[in-house]
Structure formats: structure tokens, C-alpha cells
Amino acid sequence: MSKVLFTIQYEILPEKKDEYLKVVKELKNLLKAEGLESYNVYEVKAKTLSYQELYTFSSMEAYEAFDDLNDERINILIDKINSMSVDKSTKYNTLVQLADE
């Protein structure tokens, strides 16, 4: 079974940094889903106020099921992050682990 990495990279508005850090901390505490192995947020070293979220799923099925997760508080926090980000700075990437042969 191949793991799936899902990343979201964006820049945060300078005046929203403190609020962003609080929202991410709460989101990390809430994100618990079957097949979600980890959720981490990284600051991009070469770019100030640029962050990358990294979701690690145990399988493609777990990744696809995550979209069906309907937790109101999590959705509110994700919307809040979107409102704090610089317009058109968000990039999504989905990586699927190559199968061992």
C-alpha cells in the first residue's frame, strides 16, 4: 500500500502571523482521522511568512476519505487560514509513494 503526502504551501499576511500560529496549533490538536499518520506545518526557510502543511496518509483510500471528513470546527479553522493567506499564493501538491518492486 502506497503512502500519500498532501502539501499546501502559502504565504500569510504579515499582520496575521500570531493569529495564524494559534489557528495551526488548534488545527493540529483536532486533526485525527483514520489513516492520517501525521500533520505538520513547516516554515519555508528561504521565504518569510511562507508555510507548508504536510499531511501524511497511510494509503490513497485514507487520503480520499479525508475529504469526506465533515468536522465543522476543522472546516472553520481551514477557512480562517485561507482568509489569512496572500491572494494567489496557495499551491497544492499530492505525492504518491512508488510501490516497492
- 20 within domain boundaries: yes
Predicted pLDDT at 101:
56
Q: How many structural domains is the chain composed of?
A: 1
* 50 contacts: CB under 8 Å, gap ≥ 6: 9, 10, 11, 12, 43, 44, 89
In this prediction, residue 72 carries a pLDDT of 87
For residue 18, the domain's CATH number is 3.30.70.100
pTM over 0.85: yes
> pLDDT tens digits for the chain (101 residues)?
799 999 999 999 999 999 999 999 999 988 887 789 999 999 999 888 999 999 999 999 999 888 777 778 888 999 999 999 999 999 999 999 997 65
What range does the domain containing 16 cover? 4-96
Residue 44 lies in a domain: yes
Cβ pair 37, 63 in contact under 8 A: no
